[in-house]
Amino acid sequence: MSAQPIVDIETLYRPTHDERARQQFVSTLRKHAIVDMRADLKRDWESRVEPALQARGEAPADWRGIERAMEAEPSFRFYSSVRYNVQEMTFLSVQEPVERALDGMIDVAREAAKRNPAGGSLRLTPNFEVPRYVSSLDIHLIPGSFHSEYTQDDVAQGAVVAFGSKVFGGQHPFRKKAGAVAESVGHWLHLKYPDFKPRRILDLGTCSGKNLFPYAEVFPGAELYGIDAGAPLLRFGHAQAEAAGLPVHFSQQNAESLDFPDGHFDLIVSSFFFHEIPLKSTHKILRECHRLLARGGMMVQMELPNEAAVSAYENFFWNWDTGNNAEPFYTTFRSQDPIALSTAAGFAAEQSFAHLIPDWVTFGEERYRRFVKGELPAPAHGSGGWFVFGARKT
């Protein structure tokens, strides 16, 4: 007799009609801010503010000069106000339905951790010391950030991040959608390196595993591991994986010092991870990647494009998050050379890379194959493309 399956924890999340309407409004307003208002802001800079500065001989030399010129302009102040408030509204909009479902979600997560019917595992560390650069901030303006726990075996933050991210990305709350980053990185690796068949894959800062699960489809048979500092995220993700029949191994660890043996992994990935941590931590974690990779293994870190890769105005736009989205390490990370970060960690420069890849879903398989052949360029990061950096261990 087969084991009784785990209930899909996401089905316990049942927003009311009015809550769904609120979430749809927030999602639409956010899209308006980052698409329409962003375009309006750039037009105001290019057609009015920049020409006036040039006429006075005061053209800014870099993105910081653009920021100083724009910070008092009504267009920028209005854009910033809307974007900041809608960021807060995004995660607040899912809290009430999560709280109503919380007891049931905790029961499901406990059952998943007890039985592990898919063959995965959940390893939490009692009295785990959450890094201060996580615990002292409500990163992304998420109330309670990624780590906070308010009751025994809590999964609330895992659910708030998971469902808030769907509002953030404009997804239907019940639509099952794989992580776009993982799909894109996985298929890029498969097409670019057809002989590369990783046995074990590690996702750093995995949250609930959204950008880990898709690797099971791209690389069948690979063992999947995800680490994070937030126990509620890991409990929620483990329950999701067990319900989906995915044997994923989650553990609560600080990525600066992991307990896996040398050469244990063939592929190490992350998504929007390094810009959330101090630079000294970035160096430690990349050295850990080098230690943990087997020879021939690869790390592929999806991140924000570094400053040298984009224009001064784009840097002004991207670095908004540093002071407005509880991400104080954002600008420092973006000022680094990704190739230099990799070589400082022990990777060879000729085996290191930093470039754009297209989004797998929106670009399509045929065009993706043409991109890998060098026939098509990748779209810009945030507009149909993803910026990745990494290296292969020789």
Looking at residue 236, which CATH number applies to its domain? 3.40.50.150
Q: What is the mean pLDDT of residues 305-324?
A: 96
131 belongs to a structural domain: no
Question: Predicted confidence band at 23 (pLDDT cuts at 50, 70, 90)?
Answer: very high
State whether 14 and 95 are in the same domain: yes
State whether 213 and 270 are in the same domain: yes
State whether 270 and 376 are in the same domain: yes
130 belongs to a structural domain: no
Whether the pLDDT of residue 332 is over 70: the answer is yes
138 belongs to a structural domain: no
pLDDT, tens digit (0-9, with 9 covering 90-100), for 205-230: 999 999 999 999 999 999 999 999 99
Whether the pLDDT of residue 244 is over 90: the answer is yes
pLDDT of residue 4: 83
Instruction: Confirm if 7 and 243 have CB atoms less than 8 A apart.
Output: yes
pTM over 0.85, yes/no: yes
Whether the pLDDT of residue 1 is over 70: the answer is no
pLDDT of residue 171: 67
Q: What is the mean pLDDT of residues 131-136?
A: 95
State whether 215 and 346 are in the same domain: yes
Whether the pLDDT of residue 344 is over 70: the answer is yes
State whether 223 and 164 are in the same domain: no
114 belongs to a structural domain: yes
State whether 85 and 217 are in the same domain: no
pLDDT of residue 33: 97
State whether 84 and 224 are in the same domain: no
- Which domain range does residue 388 map to? 180-392
pLDDT of residue 173: 47
329 belongs to a structural domain: yes
State whether 190 and 276 are in the same domain: yes
Whether the pLDDT of residue 336 is over 70: the answer is yes
286 belongs to a structural domain: yes
4 belongs to a structural domain: no
pLDDT of residue 170: 80
pLDDT, tens digit (0-9, with 9 covering 90-100), for 161-196: 999 999 998 865 444 455 799 999 999 999 999 999
pLDDT of residue 174: 45
Tell me the C-alpha distance between 327 and 249, whole Å.
Answer: 28
pLDDT of residue 355: 98
pLDDT of residue 97: 98
State whether 159 and 256 are in the same domain: no
Q: What is the mean pLDDT of residues 342-363?
A: 97
Whether the pLDDT of residue 2 is over 80: the answer is no
Q: Is 304 left (phi over 0), alpha (psi -120 to 50) or beta?
A: beta
Domain count across the chain: 2
pLDDT of residue 177: 52
Of 133-142, 171-180, 361-370, the least confident: 171-180
Q: What is the mean pLDDT of residues 232-246?
A: 98
127 belongs to a structural domain: no
State whether 245 and 298 are in the same domain: yes
State whether 13 and 161 are in the same domain: yes
State whether 30 and 150 are in the same domain: yes
